[in-house]
Structure 1
Amino acid sequence: MSTHSVFGAPCWVSLTSRDLEATQAFYSAVLGWRWRPARLGDRFRVALAQNVPVAGIAAVASMWQMAVAWTPYFAVPSADDAVARVQERGGTAAVGPLSLPPGRAALLADRDGATFGVWEGELISQWENWRRAAPTFIRLHTRDAFDAAMFYGEVLDWATERAGCCEVRYEGGEVVLRSGDDVVARIESGALGAAPDPTIRPHWQVHFAVADVAECARTAELHGGSVLSEAGDEAVLRDADGAQFTVTSRRRR
């Protein structure tokens, strides 16, 4: 499947790591993932859930002096066009576009500093299968949700007249991105009408669907991670290397 059929929607997530073996052991224990080699070489791995490729891990944090973090990638028809749009609107291009068979990718930051990526070409995992097996959604925590929605909408062609584009709505205090019937991303910045919060460090948070949130939280602690918050059907965790992510009960999907 090409990115042209799901353009503007998140299509992959990747994690930078300092220790590939330790990272694999942590996520195998917490999320039950298995692993396979990636085409890009020994410093890369692909995570499998239900035999579906769901995420990538790159042991490049130290080599490229990058933060250890989860990053979502959005499908685009042209990585070059997306990079140009980001730069025109005050964002930055950190890496790329680079040729990463079977496609091309770039690592970017919006004008508030939140990191994200774009992917052009054949999807690593068929989009519908990836959506079922991997994240529930991704959420942007930012200072001004409406400003952020304008930025990403212009970069990723949200809410345009093109067939297959993502729809954007304001629902329940958040900006909500839908691809078809699926909620694929949310953007939040606090109370409606409130001034932008200068204390928020803008970032994208990846939410993984799990069967038992409490068990995942305890397992994360047993394997060197930490629980930042836990409330019923959701917990914010930090892995042993410092990367933050959320586990959400499958019942909430």
Structure 2
Amino acid sequence: MSTSAADQVVPVPGLPCWVNLMVGDLSAARTFYTAVLGWDFRASSLGGQFLVASAGGEPVAGIGAQRPGLAPPSVWTPYFAVRDADVTAARIRDRGATMAVGPMALGEGRAGLAADRDGATFGFWEGPALAWLPGEGSAPARIDLQTRDVFDAAVFYGEVFGWDAGADFDIVHRHDHVVVERSGRAVLSLRGGGVQTSAQAHLRPRWLVNFTVDDVERAVVAAVEAGGSKPEPSAASWAPKGFSRTLQDPDGGLFTLSHR
């Protein structure tokens, strides 16, 4: 997840520490996200088939070439920092969710990929990581779970990642959603609206990654011109003020945009 040891920090356990997208055509994805979000790319410590996207010199996300069996196709996937990958994997299985990959050694850490009880894909990471947290610097503005049952999901993720065990952040329960905050800033939220039986992927339970831009409408135009699309109705129709558009890249990856 980094290019050198100097880049690395110990991420906060229980919080997202990175987002990845695995694609069928790495070159095409690089071209698309450069056109839409203005990202630069550099090689990572995981080899030439996994790139680190950056904006203003700060890391934003990872995009890699799919390897059969090791990643879901074209799904933006958040990775949560954990102290012990084996313990996390056991918690996931014990709570009726699915371990898809790992835990396995990857670079200087260990990673796992799973799906929660409603099918939303997420990952976890044990080890050093890039200095990165949603809402800070060039990282995504926030990561949001679109789920079937908000409070069932909150219990699941809380137990898997130990959110109630003296964590260095706050869990705020509102009347219809749950927000995880650090230093008063929202890092992620759990919200309703996911329909498990929907034939449309963007309406099913999933994690949504929100990126910020200076001009949302200009980014939407650039996305369409680069081969992307605008799924309707919006997967983020429930989203709070500031979430402006949901887009789909040419490989099917969904993400949301808001004004910086």
> CA 1:63–1:95 in structure 2 vs 1: closer, same or farther (change >3 Å)?
closer
Compared CA separation, residues 172 and 214, structure 1 to 2 (3 A): farther
Q: How far off is 1:49 after superposition?
A: 1.1
Alignment partners' CA distance in 2, 1:181 and 1:14 = 26
Matches within 5 A, 1:64-103: 64=70, 66-103=72-109
Q: Indicate which of 53, 57, 60 corresponds to 2:63.
A: 57
Task: Give the unaligned 5+ runs of structure 1.
Answer: 191-195
Aligned: 1:204 with 2:207: yes
Relative to 1, partners in 2 of residues 1:233 and 1:163: Cα closer, same or farther, differing over 3 Å?
closer
Show the counterpart of 2:157: 152
Give the distance between the partners of 1:65 and 1:81, measured in 2 at CA: 21
Q: Quick one: which amino acid aligns to residue 258 of structure 2? A: T
The Cα shift of 1:233 comes to: 5.2
Distance 1:131 1:84 in 2: 31
1:140 and 1:204 in contact (8 A); partners too: yes
Q: CA separation in 2, counterparts of 1:63 and 1:154?
A: 27
* Deviation per residue, 1:124-150 (Å, 9 max, x gap): x21359832121111111110000000
Kindly report which structure 2 residues correspond to 1:17-166, keeping only aligned pairs within 5 A, or say none. Answer: 17-60=23-66, 64=70, 66-123=72-129, 125-127=130-132, 131-160=136-165, 162-164=166-168, 166=169
Shift of 1:102: 2.5
* 2:249 aligned with 1:239: yes
Quote how far apart the aligned CAs of 1:242 are: 0.9
Give the alignment of 1:160-175 within 5 angstroms: 160=165, 162-164=166-168, 166-171=169-174, 173-175=176-178
1:189-234 Cα shifts (integer Å, max 9, x gaps): 15xxxxx875452100101111111111000000000122579851
Unmatched runs of 5 consecutive residues or more in structure 2: 1-8
Identical amino acids, percent of aligned pairs: 45
CA distance in 2, matches of 1:146, 1:155: 14
- 1:62/1:217 CA distance change after superposition, 3 Å: farther
Identify the residue that residue 226 of structure 1 maps to in structure 2: 229
Counterparts of 1:86 and 1:67, CA distance in 2:
21
3-state DSSP of counterpart to 2:33: helix
Task: Tell me what 1:7 maps to.
Answer: 13
Aligned residues: 241
* Residue matched to 2:187: 184
Distance 1:119 1:168 in 2: 21
Amino acid at match of 2:33: Y
Contact kept? 2:91, 2:160, Cα under 8 Å: yes
TM-score by length of 2: 0.85
User: Given that residues 189 and 197 in structure 1 are in contact (C-alpha distance below 8 angstroms), is that contact kept between their aligned partners in structure 2?
Assistant: no
Q: Is the 8 A contact 1:9 1:179 kept in 2?
A: no
Deviations 1:73-97 (A, max 9, x none): 1111111111111011011111111
Structure 1 residues 65 and 197: CA distance shift in structure 2, 3 A = closer
Contact 1:213 / 1:234 at 8 angstroms: preserved in 2? yes
Give the CA RMSD over aligned residues: 2.3
- 8 Å contact kept, 2:134–2:187: no
State TM-score, norm by structure 1: 0.88
